[in-house]
Amino acid sequence: MSTPEWLESWSDDEGARRVRDLFARVFGDDGAPDGVWSAPGRVNLIGEHTDYNGGLALPTALPHRTYVALRHRDDDVVRLGSAQAPGELWTARLADVAPGAVTGWGAYVAGVAWALAQDGHPVRGFDAVVDSCVPFGAGLSSSAALECAVAVALDETGDLGLAADDAGRAALVTACVRAENEIAGAPTGGMDQAASLRATAGHALLVDSRPGLSALESGTPVPFDLAAAGLTLLVVDTRAEHALVDGQYAERRATCERAAALLGVETLRDVDPARLDETLAALGPHDPDGVLARRVRHVVTEIDRTARFRDLVAAGRADEVGPLMVASHTSLRDDYEVSARELDLVVDAALAAGALGARMTGGGFGGSAIALVRADAVDTVAAAVQDAFDAAGLRAPGFLLAPPSAPAGRTA
């Protein structure tokens, strides 16, 4: 059997060194960057496919971060280099950035500057390079980490002052979401950016997507000190291809919206979990194949699980949340039908090896799964998952540890 591959996070010193060296290689003798900023990826503890239903989610910030070395310019030119795209220089003028007008990975970066300008903030051009240890394509929000690192860099170099308090960071979240939705063209919610900018070390962030809440009201810190409880969050990047998922996200969202309309509620958040059976029965005449009922059951029970998870960890009872994680995965697999063979394999192998709880995390159809384990059992659980993948003839997964970590900010 093969040995688990650990995907280590970088120290701030290493991350800063990498992007400073890259900045010198990309821009030569044009001068040093104004500084280095970084932002974390995120992992969602529980609360999947709830955001577009007005529900709750509970993410934390990863120790794995994206680093940006940036220097402001006196014109409106943006020049970008990336360690993940060696030899390429992405360029644009801020005056030309608009929905549908720019493409490529640089749209996520230039989009942040565009969104800040749309909000009335003075934004100039800039030269920047990026490097990251956030696994790409693993459902751990590498795009949000990029946006948020750029956001805090532009905030400081432009003397905007937004990153100085939580209200300002909530405004930066909104700008990053607009960048991703309107410029990069990715129709995501704001959970990822909220976690990257507003989650804090030792805490999860309860993200409440109920319509009508302000950006500031939608995020509440929740103590989640795993180390004090003798626990560790193990993340497994399955490296599974996201096959056959075209339109699946949109289909599920549309199904939930149809169900809400049939039930006469604004969002499925308004369905009382204590009356779930009665609610599902009301869908019967419109639901011959039971799909509406299954989707609604997942959303309503997942929102309830997230609230109960929050209550347990806030009370210092993190070692009791395992059954909620397992129930979440079962619901995502059976009722929402977004799991995958690899995700199920991680959950089954981790639980069999002694994990307190395990579940897929993210949108599904691949990506990552998480397991809550005793600190002294990490290697045992990781080895069991690795052995299960080997026995199934699957591509080897990657493993990372995910203590709740610090938000975006200046690194050097």
Q: Give the Å distances, CA to CA, from 36 to 75, 149, 156, 207, 390.
A: 21, 9, 11, 28, 40
Whether 225 sits among the annotated catalytic residues: the reply is no
Confirm whether 3 is domain-assigned: no
Lowest mean pLDDT among 143-152, 218-227, 329-338, 383-392: 218-227
Domain that holds residue 274: 231-401
Average pLDDT of the residues in 292-305: 98
DSSP state of 308: H
Give the percent of the chain with pLDDT over 70: 99
Q: Could you tell me if residue 406 is inside a domain?
A: no
- In the set 127, 131, 192, 287, the catalytic residue is 192
pLDDT digits (tens, 9 = 90+) for 57-97: 999 999 999 999 999 999 999 999 999 999 899 999 999 99
Q: Are 245 and 198 found together in one domain?
A: no
Total domains in the chain come to 2
Q: How far apart are CA 272 and CA 203, in angstroms?
A: 28
Looking up residue 346, the CATH number of its domain turns out to be: 3.30.70.890
| CATH code of the domain covering residue 168 | 3.30.230.10
Alpha carbons 328 and 372: distance in angstroms, whole number? 14
Distance between CA atoms of residues 105 and 109, nearest Å: 8
Residues 210 and 261 in one domain: no
In a domain, 412, yes or no: no
Do 218 and 237 lie in a common domain? no
Residue 58 lies in a domain: yes
Task: Give how far Cα 101 sits from Cα of 54, 95, 124, 174, Å.
Answer: 31, 11, 19, 20
Residues 380, 334 share a domain: yes
* Number of Cβ atoms within 10 Å of the Cβ of 316: 13
Domain termination residue (choose one: 162, 194, 222): 222
pLDDT at 244: 43
Q: What is the mean pLDDT of residues 132-136?
A: 94
**119 inside domain:** yes
Whether 111 and 255 share a structural domain: no
Same domain, yes or no, for 184 and 330? no
Based on the fold, state whether residues 22 and 157 are members of the same structural domain.
Answer: yes
Residue 403: name the closest of 64, 79, 171 by CA: 64
User: Which of 204, 222, 240 corresponds to the end of one domain?
Assistant: 222
